[in-house]
Amino acid sequence: MSPRTPQQFEEIREEKKALIMEVALKYFANEGYHRTTITRIAREAGISKGLMYNYFESKEELLSAIIQKSVYEVYSFFDVNRDGYLSPDEFEYFIRKITSVLKEKQVFWKLFFQLMVQNEVRDRFLETFVGTRSMFGVTREIEERHFVSGIIKTITEYFLRKKETKGPDYDPLLELNMFILTMKGFWVTYIYSENVDDEYFNNSVNRIIEMYK
């Protein structure tokens, strides 16, 4: 009969928020942000529409929260190698990480990709979370800010360093470009694979490492 403690309320809130975000991510990713209605999310999460708005100020804020959370989780995955120098083994480790996080957060990447694909949303979120708008273009000037830019810089330096051992015919920026191309291809392929074949997945990763390490 005694009222719930603030901690209990906080717990309820966090659990419900997590539930809503989980359901919303699933539908945003698979059906698209615009096509997913609040009604659907609420029904699927077993709550009322009103409660949704108790936790998130708007549909957009819900999307934002999902992205923020996911980006944070992806960030925390890459806490190593932040010194800016990459040894070949660290490079390999990085590729293995990036491919495993693909599996781990497949649904989020689906959503992320979808957002990238739409002008409007891209402009709103890309700069905030990724720090670059040229992600899909050939990025020549290396941007300093943000996580992704930082990684790209580190990797660029890795490729530039390889020129010393590979000889005069080696075009490091072209190789970098091909590497990024391949990673994107890998990404887009496996994001939309419903039943990833582990053997092929691993073989592909190993081959990428073989080609670009």
Partner DNA sequence: GATGAATGAGTATTCATTCAT
Partner DNA sequence: CATGAATGAATACTCATTCAT
Number of Cβ within a 10 Å radius of residue 33: 19
CA distances from 37 to 57, 58, 162 (A): 15, 12, 50
In the range 164-183, which residues lie near a second copy by CB under 8 A?
Answer: 171, 174, 177-178, 180-183
Specify the stretch interacting with DNA by CB under 7 A; choose among 43-51, 76-84, 124-132, 167-175.
43-51
x/- site string to DNA, residues 119 to 158, per CB under 7 A? Answer: ----------------------------------------
x/- site string to a second copy, residues 122 to 161, per CB under 8 A? Answer: -------------xxxx-x---------------------
Instruction: Label residue 195 left, alpha or beta by phi (over 0 means left) and psi (-120 to 50 means alpha).
Output: beta
- Residue 11 or 171 having the CB closest to a second copy: 171
Which tokens sit at 85?
């120098």
Query: Smallest distance from the beta carbon of 133 to DNA, in angstroms?
Result: 25
| Of residues 9, 11, 107, the one with CA closest to residue 66 | 107
**101: exposed, middle or buried (C-beta count within 10 Å: 0-12, 13-18, 19+)?**
middle
Which tokens sit at 186?
């890998």
Q: What is the DSSP letter of 115?
A: H
State the binding partner of 198 from DNA, a second copy, none, CB within 5 to 8 A by kind: none
Q: In angstroms, rounded to a whole number, what is the distance separating the alpha carbons of residues 68 and 96?
A: 23
Which residues form the interface with a second copy (CB under 8 A)?
Answer: 30-32, 34-35, 110, 113-114, 116-120, 135-138, 140, 171, 174, 177-178, 180-189, 191-197, 200-201, 203-204, 207-208, 211
Which residues form the interface with DNA (CB under 7 A)?
Answer: 1-4, 6, 9, 12-13, 16, 34-39, 47-51, 53-55, 57-60
